[in-house]
Amino acid sequence: MKSNNNRKKKKNTQVVNNRQLLPCPEFAPPFRGTTVFRKTVRYVTSSAIATSATNTQIGNFLVIGGGTTTCYKVANFIRVRCVTLWAGPPSTGAPSTVVFQWSGTVAASIGPNQQWSGTSIGMTHVARLRVKPPVNSQAAEWQSTGGGAAPGTNVLFNYSLPANSIIQIDLDASVNDDGTASSVAVGSGATLGVLFALALDHGTSDVVVPVGGQPVIS
Which CATH code is given to the segment(s) 32-211?
A: 2.60.120.220
* CA distance readout (Å), 13 to 2, 16, 21, 58, 126: 17, 5, 13, 53, 57
Give me Rg for the CA atoms of the chain: 24
Question: How confident is the prediction along the chain (218 residues), in pLDDT tens digits per residue?
Answer: 555 555 544 444 444 455 655 677 788 888 878 889 999 999 999 999 999 998 999 999 999 999 889 999 999 999 999 999 999 887 776 888 999 999 865 445 567 788 899 998 877 788 999 999 988 888 888 988 885 445 567 888 999 999 999 999 999 999 987 767 888 899 888 899 999 999 999 988 899 999 987 888 88
Provide the residue ranges of all domains of the chain, joining segments of one domain with +.
32-211
Whole-number Å distance between alpha carbons of 164 and 72: 29
Residue type, 11: K
Residues whose CB falls within 8 Å of the CB of residue 209, separated by 6 or more in sequence, listed in order: 43, 44, 45, 46, 199, 216
Buried b (16+ CB within 10 A) or exposed e, 125-163: ebbebebebeeebbbbeebbbbbeeebeebbbbbbbbbb
Look up the pTM and report it: 0.82
